[in-house]
Chains A and B, each alone.
Chain A
C-alpha cells in the first residue's frame, strides 16, 4: 500500500481550516526513536507535520472524550465545534461504539479514515532493532516494513514485527468515515489468538498463577483506563471511595479487582485496538483479557461492538436464547 502523505496533509489542511472544526487530531513524528505523537492541528499550516505510518499505533479516538468539559463563563457560549479525527480501522470501531453509547454524536466529529495495512509492535521492533534517540521513519512496503533512519533503509518482514492486534484484525478499513484517504486495503488471513489459547489450555490454577504474576506488577497508574477510548466516565467507579469497589492501595488483591473490573466493563464494548496493553508500563498483557471476552461475545452471543452504530449495547440487551448452560 502506498500512503500518499501529500494527499493526507492536503485533506487535513482543508478540514482543519474549516470554521466548524475546532482541531484535527492526527499523528506526527515523535521526539526520538520510534515514537509517534498525537498531533492537534488547529489550522492548515499545522497539517504539514502530519504523518501516517506503521508507527501510528495510537488510537486517537480517545481524544474525543478525553477533553475536560470546563464551565462556560457566564454570557459565553460553549465551544461546540467539531473535532476531526484520523482513524485506522480499529480506531474507527471505537468511534462507532462511541456513537452507540452516545459518547459522541455523529455531527460532532469529522472522521478521516485511513485504511491500514497493519502497524508495528514498537516494543518488538525496539527489541530486534534497538531504538536510538534519533527519530526514525517507517513505511509500508508490500509484505515488508521499511525502517528509515540516519539515511539508511532497512527492510523488515511484516510478520516479524506486526502488532498482535493487527495479526488478529478483521477491520483494517475504517467502518465509519466522512473522508477516506487512499484505497481500501484487503483483509488478510487471521492468525490464531495464541496468547489467549495458550492460557485457555492451562488449568484454572495455571491461569491463576499466570495472572497473579501479571497483576502483582500493576502500579495502578490508570494509563490502561485513560488511554481507552471507551473508558470515558467522568467519575470512574474505580476511583470512587463511596462505595469503594476497589481500594486505592496497591497490592495483589486490589490490583486484581481493578483489572477484572476494567476488563468486565469493556465486555461487549472493547474494539480490540490494543492500546491498554501498549501503554502499560508494567507490561501486563491486558489485551488477552479483552480479547478473550471479545471472542466469547462474538462466539456465544453473536455480537460485535463498534461495527453498527445502530446496535443495541451488548450489556444493555439480551436475546431470549442467550447461552445458559452454566445455570443450575
Chain B
C-alpha cells in the first residue's frame, strides 16, 4: 500500500484532475450536508463532521430507473451505466456500510445495478479526527480510520492530506494524480495513527453487542419493543439516513403514455412496507416494525452474512425526532436477554 501526501492548497487541483468523472462529495445546504454530484470546477470542502444523508445513493440511488417502456408493443429501453464516479470524502463508517450492503447485493445473484455502479466507482474516504457525539463505530467493528469498503483513505494531517491506497482502484487514482502528490514518510503515517488513536478516545458512547445477535430472536414477544416503539412516528428518517439500510420497492411510473420501472428506497418503518394486497399486515404496528429494524441489523444480517448491519455512525440517533436512541435500545436488549 502506497502512501502519498497532498498539500491542502492542491486539493482543488486534485479534484480538477478527476475531471470527466462524475464526482460525488459532501455538499453543504445550510447545516444539512449531503452527498451530491459536484459541479465542474468546484472543490468540495472536507471540513465537516458527517452528512445527514449517507453517501449510499452513489451506489444505490434513492430512485433508479431500471428500464423505460411504452404500452402496447412499443420499445423497452434499459439505461446503460457508463459513467465513472469518484466519491470523495466519505467517512469510514459509510464506506464500511457499503461493504456490508454489498454482501447482500452480491449474494446469491449479482444485482446488476449495484454491481455495475460499484465497478465504475472509486470510493475515497476521509478518516475522522473529530467523531460525533453519537458515534460508536468501534463498538460494531469499525473505527475512525477503517478502510473496509474503501479504495483510498485520506487523513487530515493539518497541512496535508495523507492518501493511502486500499485497492487497485485506489492505486490507479494515485497514479492519475501523481503530479500533485509527494511520497509520504513514516512520520506522516505515524501522525495519522496518533490522530486516529485520539479520535477513538473521543468516542464516548458504546454498545455492548455480545450475545445480542443470538439473543434477539428470543425477545420476540418481549415488552421492550412496545416501550421502544411507543413514541415512534413511523417515519423513514432512521432507515433512509442509515448507510446500511438497503430495502427497496419496485414500481412502475407513468408519464402520459410512457412509463418506467424504477426501484426506490423503501423503509421497513412504513406501515405499507409489509402490507398485503388483502389488507392484512403481518407487521401491523410500530412495535413489530421497530423490532424488525433492530433485529435485522443486529441479528438476521449477522446470521446471514456474519456482520452486524450497523456501522455506528449515529445518524438514526442524531436525527430521530423522538429520541429513539439505538445505543439505548441495544442496552435495553442486553438487559432483557
Direct A–B touching, Cβ under 8 Å: yes
Interface membership of B2, Cβ < 8 A = no
Taking chain A's interface residues, is the majority helix, strand, or loop, or is none over half, making it mixed?
Answer: loop
Interface membership of B204, Cβ < 8 A = yes
Interface membership of B267, Cβ < 8 A = yes
- Which of A87-95, A213-221, A291-299 contacts the other chain? A213-221
- State how many angstroms separate the Cβ of A156 from the closest Cβ of chain B: 19
Chain B hits for A30, CB < 8 A:
323, 325
Q: Chain A CB within 10 Å — which of B237, B241, B270 has the most?
A: B237
* Closest B residue by C-beta to A39: B231
- State how many angstroms separate the Cβ of A173 from the closest Cβ of chain B: 25
| Contact assessment for B63 and A250 in the assembled complex, using a CB-CB cutoff below 8 Å | yes
Knowing A127-B31, A221-B240 are in contact, say whether A248-B233 is a contact too (CB < 8 A): no
| Contact assessment for A213 and B29 in the assembled complex, using a CB-CB cutoff below 8 Å | yes
Interface membership of A269, Cβ < 8 A = no
Interface membership of A256, Cβ < 8 A = no
Interface flags, A54-74, vs B, CB<8A=1, else 0: 000010001100101010000
Among candidates B237, B284, B323, B327, residue contacting A70 with C-beta atoms closer than 8 Å: B284
Knowing A32-B325, A123-B31, A217-B34 are in contact, say whether A250-B236 is a contact too (CB < 8 A): no
Interface membership of B42, Cβ < 8 A = no
- Our count of residue pairs bridging A and B at CB distance below 8 angstroms stands at 122
| Contact assessment for B234 and A133 in the assembled complex, using a CB-CB cutoff below 8 Å | no
| Contact assessment for A248 and B234 in the assembled complex, using a CB-CB cutoff below 8 Å | no
- Which of A7-15, A158-166, A276-284, A306-314 contacts the other chain? A276-284
| Contact assessment for A222 and B270 in the assembled complex, using a CB-CB cutoff below 8 Å | yes
- State how many angstroms separate the Cβ of A198 from the closest Cβ of chain B: 15
Interface membership of B134, Cβ < 8 A = yes
- A residues 212-243 with Cβ under 8 Å of B? 213, 217, 219-223, 225-227, 239, 241
- B residues 186-212 with Cβ under 8 Å of A? 204-205
- State how many angstroms separate the Cβ of B8 from the closest Cβ of chain A: 25
| Contact assessment for B30 and A221 in the assembled complex, using a CB-CB cutoff below 8 Å | no
In the complex, A58→B320 CA distance in Å?
12
* Closest A residue by C-beta to B271: A68
Chain B hits for A247, CB < 8 A:
251, 253
Among candidates B52, B231, B241, B323, residue contacting A40 with C-beta atoms closer than 8 Å: B231
- State how many angstroms separate the Cβ of B59 from the closest Cβ of chain A: 16
| Contact assessment for B237 and A279 in the assembled complex, using a CB-CB cutoff below 8 Å | yes
| Contact assessment for B323 and A281 in the assembled complex, using a CB-CB cutoff below 8 Å | no
Interface flags, B294-317, vs A, CB<8A=1, else 0: 000000000000000000000001
- A residues 25-50 with Cβ under 8 Å of B? 30-33, 35-38, 40
* Closest B residue by C-beta to A213: B29
How many residues of chain A have a CB within 8 Å of chain B? 44
- State how many angstroms separate the Cβ of B19 from the closest Cβ of chain A: 24
| Contact assessment for A38 and B327 in the assembled complex, using a CB-CB cutoff below 8 Å | no
- State how many angstroms separate the Cβ of A211 from the closest Cβ of chain B: 13
Q: Chain B CB within 10 Å — which of A63, A221, A282, A283 has the most?
A: A221
| Contact assessment for A241 and B133 in the assembled complex, using a CB-CB cutoff below 8 Å | no
Interface membership of A251, Cβ < 8 A = yes
Among candidates B29, B133, B236, B324, residue contacting A217 with C-beta atoms closer than 8 Å: B29
In the complex, A35→B235 CA distance in Å?
18
| Contact assessment for B32 and A281 in the assembled complex, using a CB-CB cutoff below 8 Å | yes
In the complex, A37→B231 CA distance in Å?
8
Among candidates A213, A222, A223, A282, residue contacting B53 with C-beta atoms closer than 8 Å: A282
Chain B hits for A31, CB < 8 A:
317, 323, 325, 327-328
Among candidates A127, A219, A249, residue contacting B253 with C-beta atoms closer than 8 Å: A249
Interface membership of B222, Cβ < 8 A = no
| Contact assessment for A223 and B236 in the assembled complex, using a CB-CB cutoff below 8 Å | yes
Q: Chain B CB within 10 Å — which of A31, A35, A131 has the most?
A: A31
* Closest A residue by C-beta to B255: A247
Among candidates A70, A220, A279, A282, residue contacting B233 with C-beta atoms closer than 8 Å: A279
Interface membership of A132, Cβ < 8 A = yes
In the complex, A111→B316 CA distance in Å?
31
Interface membership of B272, Cβ < 8 A = yes
Knowing A221-B240, A249-B264 are in contact, say whether A227-B325 is a contact too (CB < 8 A): no
B interface, CB within 8 angstroms of A: 29-32, 34, 52-53, 62-63, 133-134, 204-205, 227, 230-231, 233-237, 240-241, 249, 251, 253-254, 262, 264-265, 267, 270-272, 284-286, 317, 319, 321-325, 327-328
A interface, CB within 8 angstroms of B: 30-33, 35-38, 40, 58, 62-63, 66, 68, 70, 123, 127, 131-133, 213, 217, 219-223, 225-227, 239, 241, 244, 247-251, 275, 278-279, 281-283
Known: A37-B231, A217-B29, A281-B52. 5 other contacts (CB 8 A): A36-B323, A38-B322, A63-B231, A68-B286, A283-B29
